[in-house]
Amino acid sequence: MNPDTLFRGARILGDGVDVVGDLLVRDGSIADFGPSLGRPDSADVVEAEGAVLCPGLVDMRAALGEPGYEYRETIASAAEAAAAGGITTLAALPDTQPAIDDPALVHLLRTRGVETGSLSILPYGAVTRGCRGEEMAELGLLREAGAVAFTDGSRAVGPARLMRLALSYARGFDARIVQHPEDPSLAAGGSATESEQATRLGLPSIPAAAEAIIVARDIRLAELTGGAVHFAHVSTGEALALIRRAKDAGLSVTCDTAPPYFDLNETTIGTFRTYAKLSPPLRKEADRQAVVAALADGTIDAIASDHQPRDADDKRLPFAQAAAGGCGLATLLGVTLAQVHNGSLPMAQAITLLTSRPAALLGSAAGRIAKDAPADLCLFEPDRIWKVEAGKLPGKAQNSPFDGRALEGVVIGTWKSGKRVFG
């Protein structure tokens, strides 16, 4: 049995909790927290010295590369990067090879997460067989096996009839359909947001309306079926306005975004910088500002890493041919804290967007500071500066759109069920 651990002198921050004091971990759970707890006999002491102690981050959208794309990332390398980023729970996308459309693969991913000792993996099940958008997968069996929700990952569920059926069926066992909101016919072949910049660079473009069109359609389908739809990595003001209205109308509509869409804009691609080629593509500055506003007003329910590992050869191509996607596990906290440091988000709200709110969407008990809650914890220094350097990031994937960016907020320790797994 592990000895008790006492965190002393931390700013303890969680959903509804913001106190300076101590936190005691016993037998893998939070035993107590508050001002001046005193030191139990034989407890290990972690002197926080004013650092922030929060729940381990809950990342509700990440690709792991395994199975099928181990050359890009493995579960082991993703777990290493996640621990360094303060992430202790991660929802894994199903568009692997083979796709997670079989209950045995759901069981496998959960087991592989346990085997890491540092990361709980919550698998998404595929909406359609092979994530091909043609035939609905066995959602009931996948849910029974432990799938937390259903998505085709980086591919939109294109046919409206198929999306309607999926929403209706998933409603029967209280599950969400997570949509990549991009009209496939409008996005086909595109690599950048339709704009003067894309025209100047001669890049095939995707209209920003491709996002809003799918969002509008699927909101209407959610209303028609009574199903629950969640829109991933929302990146445009038009789509966010539609989601805001749907929420006001009481529909089962939620959404997340990712750090590139509130920290970067289309100018980041510069002269064909492929690390900044993402899906959806980086948007105009007005859209970035709309995402920031939607984080502040609560329209956006969670911030996800949107981790999409890519090999160097995937990116060492002309911009239009290079693979879209950026790694994001190690930078999730730091880029989010930039919105705290510039005054756009209170610290407490930023932490809930990274912990309790995504956990609630996933039906997970993680992401909380509470007595008897799992001692999945992240200790970080919010004002300490570091620089993102591709090639020096933890884990296998190095394709960061934030390469060269200075960030404030350094994870100095991560604990999983009371065991230190980083720092």
Structure tokens given for 245: 């209205």
Q: Which of 183, 306, 314, 403 is catalytic?
A: 306
Nearest to 113 by CA among 124, 100, 122: 122
Quote the strand ranges of 5-56, DSSP E. Answer: 5-14, 17-26, 29-34, 44-47, 52-55
Alpha carbons 214 and 255: distance in angstroms, whole number: 13
Alpha carbons 126 and 103: distance in angstroms, whole number: 10
Element housing 243 (H / E): helix 237-248
Alpha carbons 111 and 34: distance in angstroms, whole number: 35
Nearest to 156 by CA among 122, 192, 128: 128
| Residue 306 is among the residues annotated as catalytic for this protein | yes
From the number of C-beta atoms within 10 Å of its C-beta (0-12, 13-18, 19+), residue 131 rates as buried
Q: CB within 8 A of 21, min separation 6: which ones?
A: 9, 10, 12, 33, 34, 35, 36, 37
Nearest to 229 by CA among 259, 209, 256: 256
Is 131:155 a contact under the CB 8 Å cutoff?
yes
Catalytic residues: 306
